[in-house]
Structure 1
Amino acid sequence: MYHDVLIPTDGSDGTRRSIVHGLTIAERFDATVHALSVVPEGPLGTLESEEATPAAHRAVDHVAATAKRSGLEAVTAVDHGVPHEEILSYADEHGIDMIVMGTQGRTGLDRVLVGSVTERVVRMADVPIVTVRLTDDRRIETSEEAEAIARESLEESVTDSGDEAKTRDSYRISATWYVEFGTSSGPIQVQVDAVSGETRRSNVDE
């Protein structure tokens, strides 16, 4: 019934539940997941910063990685323009059967804009739309908390071998903290779920 499911994302905490719902639907119908992030431009957009485009790529990569862990095919795209127009255009061009998106984005002006984008997509789209509200409460609010949990998860494999893990970077995407450590055997990334506290470790290609 549904072959292609589109999940727009800006990487904010509010997208966590829409990603979960979107992947659940895709898994049920063995559908391809499309992750789209739009760097806003135009009258409804925020001013683009140097971090906007890399953040957009991280946001769609997060969805793709989560989808692939569930055995789903994933396609990613980062576009620039007026968000609701780009979402609708992508849906038309790629034969999207369903769009799953959150009703809340980042704080401040962007949070209002994301609600406005969702409203416009709901009114103008020709395919079914599933909207998901942010209801999860974050437990891990700061990068320091995330780093402590991530470092603890490395104790058996890194600390016991006498290798000292040094923090290289940390950031949060869709309520998941990504903490990267440098070790003598190469960089290691630990993902910490800001809601559940669960961790997942992977090597980083340089």
Structure 2
Amino acid sequence: MNTRVLIALDTLDMTSTTLATARSFFPHAACHLLHVLPAVPQTVSSLGGPVVLVGTDQPSRNEAQQQLRALGDGELVDGGDPASEILRRAASDAFDLVVMGTSGRRGLSRMLLGSVAERVVRESARPVMTVRQAGHGPASRILVLTDFSSAAHQALSAAQQYFPDANAHLLHVVSPTALTAPLSLAPAGRAITAASLAARNREWVQEAREQLARLGGGEIVEGDPAEVALARARSGAYDLIALGTAGRDGFERLMFGSVAQQIVRESPIPVLTARSLDLAVQGA
């Protein structure tokens, strides 16, 4: 069964890195292009003075329609909210995956598209591949960043499903602060000592090794998860990063969400993200 890919385009031109990367990574997929036309202020006069109406003028739409047809099959949406339009389609059964860029060309466009991408990554019911720079697929070397959460398992499953011939390298990054900071984890009335911290850390690392072994093996390193992943991405050793968009619960979930946002914003290679199935069902 062919993968059905929704490609969200911020520009309608042949030089689109998002479109080129999507076609490179999914050469046999059924692709559907989506472009949301910006709302163009139009001023008309009335007895009470000028009135500004928000809409898309017809000549611009006609031109955009011709440009879209030159790129492939797809649809235009007049003056909608890009993130909402993408998420609505991702929540349907029409698509398996969303591909989109993470930044516009300049100025306000760049900032707005970045926020659109972050919202789609957080809320999409389907896996999302974000593109900051042109990538070349299909992916043969994938870095899978895992915290062993449901979302991380979904990201691994998506990577294996869409790139079955790729070599997936699992990486678990232990933050130094996670190993030393949380005093609240001490049993009531018992002081935390260096020895108890060391024992707990050994237990965490051993648990991580066991979980990695069950997944087929991987690597454990200490550091800032986003910075470690981005350094690996910049090394040229990988074609794609895959990760979940939320951690296990509470503060850990918040922190892993921020890790995903930083990687999506800064990664020089495409990033495949996925949510927990439970969260995706709740948000749909």
Give the TM bin, normalised by the shorter chain.
0.5 to 0.7
Aligned partner (choices 229, 233, 237) of residue 95 of structure 1 = 237
Which amino acid in structure 1 is aligned with residue 160 of structure 2? L
Equivalent residue for 1:40?
Answer: 175
Structure 1 unaligned blocks of 5 or more: 66-75, 138-206
1:111 and 2:253 matched: yes
Aligned partner (choices 52, 58, 63) of residue 210 of structure 2 = 58
Shift in CA distance, 20/90, structure 1 to aligned 2, threshold 3 Å: same
5 Å matches for 1:1-206?
Answer: 1=137, 2-27=139-164, 30-41=165-176, 45-48=177-180, 49-50=200-201, 51-64=203-216, 76-93=218-235, 95-136=237-278
Q: State the structure with more CA Rg.
A: 2
Q: Is the 8 A contact 1:11 1:55 kept in 2?
A: no
**In structure 2, what is the Cα distance between the partners aligned to 1:88 and 1:56?**
21
Structure 2 unaligned blocks of 5 or more: 1-136, 181-199, 280-284
**In structure 2, what is the Cα distance between the partners aligned to 1:95 and 1:85?**
15
Listed one character per residue, the Cα deviations across residues 92-150 of structure 1 (whole Å, up to 9, x for unaligned) are 3361101111111111211100000000111110000111011248xxxxxxxxxxxxx
> How many residues are paired up?
122
**In structure 1, what is the Cα distance between the partners aligned to 2:140 and 2:169?**
11
Identical-residue share of aligned pairs (%): 29
TM-score (norm 2): 0.40
Aligned to 2:178, the other structure's residue is in SS state coil
Q: Is the 8 A contact 1:103 1:131 kept in 2?
A: yes
**In structure 1, what is the Cα distance between the partners aligned to 2:216 and 2:220?**
13
Runs of 4+ in 1 over 3 A off after TM superposition: none
Which amino acid in structure 1 is aligned with residue 256 of structure 2? V
TM-score (norm 1): 0.54
Shift in CA distance, 23/78, structure 1 to aligned 2, threshold 3 Å: same
**In structure 1, what is the Cα distance between the partners aligned to 2:276 and 2:244?**
7
Aligned to 1:58, the other structure's residue is in SS state helix
Q: Which has the higher helix share?
A: 2
